Amino acid sequence: MSFDPDFQLENFEELFGDFEQVHKVLNECPVCGSNMVHTHLSDYKNLYIHENSRCTDCGHGNRKKIHHIN
């Protein structure tokens, strides 16, 4: 299996602050401030989830992350 270099591993150190600040970083578009749409693809064999995030209003984003399933 090859690893797509566009994906970033989930890193909790980049998230700091109270609930509202973390929620804003994860769910709001940094350009226009509207909500991001998140899609997830599960890979239970390799125990991770691919997440794609994109803003439907301005088209910014296509942020890609990999979440580990413990």
Each residue's pLDDT tens digit, 51-68: 888 998 888 877 788 888
Confidence at 1, pLDDT banded by 50, 70, 90: very low
With a cut of 70, say whether residue 2 has pLDDT above it.
no
The DSSP letter of residue 60 is: -
pTM for this predicted structure: 0.66
Task: Give me the residues paired with residue 67 across strands.
Answer: 49
Is there a contact between 44 and 69 (Cβ–Cβ < 8 Å)? yes
